[in-house]
Amino acid sequence: MARNWLSYAGYMAAAQLLAACSGDPARNTVADSVVQDQNATAPNATAPMAERKLVLAFGDSLYAGYGVAQNESFPRQLEKALQARGEAVEVRNAGVSGETTQGGLQRLAFTLDGLPRKPDLVLLGLGGNDMLRGLDPAQSEKNLREMLDMLKARQVPVLLTGMLAAPNMGAEYAARFNAIYPALAKEYGLPLYPFFLEGVIGNPDYMQADSIHPNPAGVDIVAGKIAPLVAGALRAESAPDGG
């Protein structure tokens, strides 16, 4: 998987992406994301909320839908993929472009408190921007651990979606960064999708011109790959013994 990163347009492109996606976090508030997501038409929009599982997609631009229409974003495509599997589910988009693990930690409680009820599952996908900025993997891991501790305290199940370091970051950095997600998944007993861009990165048919964000076809592939894990996690939590 890691070798696919070599097809990136170089680390300068990643730096340009970071500048383009960051901006003022206030422009990409969670409230805005959720309102946009609610306004999109979903096949199960008429089903009573009480009959639907609530999934919160909490991440960065890969979740938020950078460069694609809101109804083509990962949360929306994931919801469609789950519904196609017969799942009654609503996926809320709480992705913010340019978000780091530190920013995620600062807004997680606010996001959870703003939901109509406790989510049945949180998809946590942060760390990519930490890597692009060259932030210390130890700090990224600490921030992710604090988020997981918060979710555990609230008794909210989590599915982690991981990221891999670009080769430009060097072997030592990559070894430290790439170990974060498997280690946390093992420590907390969480399901893990190891690399969010698996199956699309490096293929121009599935990537936007920046070679970093998937286009609608790529998002559809990612959502299709992750949907079975989400369905399994939801069913495990709804089992009488909790799994």
Catalytic positions, written as ranges: 61, 210, 213
Q: What are phi and psi of 167, to 5 degrees?
A: -55, -30
| Single-letter amino acid, residue 173 | Y
Q: How far apart (Å, rounded) are the C-alpha atoms in residues 10 and 166?
A: 9
Q: How far apart (Å, rounded) are the C-alpha atoms in residues 43 and 89?
A: 10
Q: How far apart (Å, rounded) are the C-alpha atoms in residues 115 and 196?
A: 25
Strands (E), the chain: 53-59, 89-95, 121-125, 158-161, 192-193
Q: How far is CA 169 from CA 66, 134, 179, in A?
A: 23, 7, 14
CB 76 within 8 A of CB 93: yes
Task: List, as one string, the DSSP characters of 122-162.
Answer: EEEE--HHHHHTT--HHHHHHHHHHHHHHHHHTT--EEEE-
Residues 6+ apart with CB under 8 A from 203: 218
Q: Among residues 200, 237, 185, which one has the least CA distance to residue 74? A: 200
